Amino acid sequence: MKLSDYAKKKGISYDTAWRMWNRGQLQGERLPTGTIIIFEDDRSCGENKVAIYGRVSSSENQSNLETQAKRLEAYCIGKGYQIVRVVKEVGSGVNAHRKLLLKLLEQTDYNLIVVEHKDRLSRVGFNYLKVLLTQTNRDLEVVN
C-alpha cells in the first residue's frame, strides 16, 4: 500500500510514516516515480497475536469488567485472532498509574491490543498510545 494510505490507516501523519520508513522500521520499496510502497505484514492476514485490555473505573463495576472481557474474547475469536493475554484492570481512565496497562505496554508477545471503547484504554492520551504502539510495530483496534 502507498505510504500515505499506510499513514491514514494507522492514524499517524505522513511525515511520521515517512520517518519510520526512512529509519527502516517499515518494510517497503521506493518506485522509480518516487512513490513509497509499504509491504503488508502477516498481521493483515488474520495472524494477529492479540492482547485484550478491559478496564472499569471502580470495583463496584467488577461484573461489567468480566462481561467486557467476554465480549472482547468473542470478538477476537470471531475475527480469527490468536489471544495471547487478557488484561482486566480496575482504575480511573485518567490515572497514569495503572500497573497492568504499563506492564502490558512493556510486553512484546502481541502485535495488537483490542479494547471495547477508546476510553477503556485511556480517557486522555489515546492518540499518544496509538503512536507509541505504531512505533513498535503494534496496533490498536477499538471494537465500538
Calpha distance 14→90 (Å, rounded): 36
CATH classification for the domain delimited by 43-142, as one of 3.40.50.1390, 3.40.50.620, 3.40.50.10490, 3.10.20.30 = 3.40.50.1390
Q: Is the pLDDT of residue 120 over 70?
A: yes
pTM of the model: 0.66
Q: Is the pLDDT of residue 45 over 70?
A: no
Summarize pLDDT for 74-94 with one digit per residue, the tens: 999 888 889 999 999 998 767
Q: Is the pLDDT of residue 40 over 80?
A: no
Start-end ranges of CATH 3.40.50.1390 in the chain? Answer: 43-142
Calpha distance 141→144 (Å, rounded): 9
Task: Copy the grid coordinates of residue 68.
Answer: 467486557
pLDDT at 42: 43
